[in-house]
């Protein structure tokens, strides 16, 4: 069996979504491809793209390689103490990796792999899969952090209005204005989402969250009045939130690369890229 799931970019709402605000997320045409085949004995895990160690074991518990950890998180969510019939899983995230820079592009590879793998295991083990459970599993895989907007993009595709309140997620289609153009630009440098989320958690526990509340209000307002002026105001507030976190421990990695990209030429695009799907 095969399954695929797309990556994502966050248009606006990063960090604000963790304050209960809606965020806009867009699925992109870069796909994680995962295949599963049952075996007579032993489990095998392989990956390509952002390379991880492979696993080949006859035992019904998996060693701590990322290629196996996603599967382990999914099965443990369903209460497996011992795992079912042995299988081989191969994941391909080459679309999410820049071989020249030897870095992840930062468009949601782990969420895409988790979504596609979850689809396959649900098919194999006769579960009824759901977006809510997929989000919970990916959170567990990331140590309990993350809003789930990347999983929603992988699950549903298209452009979405996403929110998460008390761990309950809502994702609905959002129509991008035909006269507003966008482009995706790779700065050439990766950042660590878990690291930034940890910085965010530490900051929010100690500080006045007024900059975050202001960002959340602007994020919600953009869904009602999506203009370049409102987007510029949101970007400026995101910069203020980053500054408020303190120099040397930023929430958002505003680098010289980001500043260069803010003056780049944009192109028109409004393609509703598809979400995750099963193959044969």
Report pLDDT for 111: 93
> How does residue 247 score in pLDDT terms, banded at 50, 70 and 90?
very low
Residue 266 has pLDDT above 60, yes or no: no
Q: Say if CB 94 and CB 32 are below 8 A apart.
A: no
* Helix, strand, or coil (residue 221): helix
Give the Cβ contact number of residue 233 at 10 Å.
Answer: 15
Identify the top-confidence range among 38-42, 85-89, 171-175, 237-241: 171-175
Which residues have a Cβ under 8 Å from the Cβ of 270 and sit 6 or more positions away? 176, 178
Q: Say if CB 114 and CB 177 are below 8 A apart.
A: no
Residue of 117 and 19 predicted with greater confidence: 117
Classify residue 175 by its DSSP letter: P
Say if pTM beats, i.e. exceeds, 0.75: yes
- Six-digit token pair at 208? 């006045």
* Helix, strand, or coil (residue 81): coil
Identify the top-confidence range among 113-117, 266-270, 275-279: 113-117
Q: Say if CB 25 and CB 150 are below 8 A apart.
A: yes
> How does residue 5 score in pLDDT terms, banded at 50, 70 and 90?
very high
Report pLDDT for 28: 92
């Amino acid at each position: 069996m095969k399954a695929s799931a797309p990556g994502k970019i966050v248009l606006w709402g990063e960090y604000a979504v963790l304050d209960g605000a809606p965020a806009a997320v867009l699925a992109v045409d870069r796909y994680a491809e995962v295949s599963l085949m049952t075996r007579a004995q032993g489990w095998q895990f392989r990956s390509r793209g952002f390379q991880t160690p492979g696993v080949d074991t006859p035992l019904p518990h998996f060693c701590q390689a990322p290629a196996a950890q996603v599967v382990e998180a999914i099965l443990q969510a369903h209460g497996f103490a011992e795992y079912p019939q042995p299988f081989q899983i191969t994941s391909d995230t080459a679309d999410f990796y820049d071989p020249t820079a030897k870095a992840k592009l930062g468009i949601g590879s782990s969420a895409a792999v988790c979504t596609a793998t979850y689809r396959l295991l649900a098919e194999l083990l006769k579960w009824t899969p759901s977006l809510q459970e997929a989000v919970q599993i990916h959170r567990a895989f990331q140590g309990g952090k993350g809003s789930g907007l990347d999983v929603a993009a992988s699950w549903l595709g298209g452009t979405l209005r996403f929110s998460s309140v008390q761990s309950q997620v809502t994702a609905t289609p959002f129509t991008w204005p035909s006269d507003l153009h966008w482009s995706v630009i790779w700065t050439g440098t990766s950042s660590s989402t878990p690291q930034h989320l940890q910085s965010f958690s530490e900051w929010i526990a100690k500080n006045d969250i007024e900059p975050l509340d202001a960002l959340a209000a602007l994020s919600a307002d953009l869904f009602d009045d999506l203009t370049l002026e409102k987007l510029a105001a949101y970007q400026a507030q995101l910069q203020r939130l980053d500054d408020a976190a303190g120099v040397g421990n930023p929430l958002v990695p505003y680098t010289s690369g980001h500043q260069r990209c803010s003056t780049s030429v944009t192109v028109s695009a409004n393609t509703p890229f598809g979400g995750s799907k099963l193959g044969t």
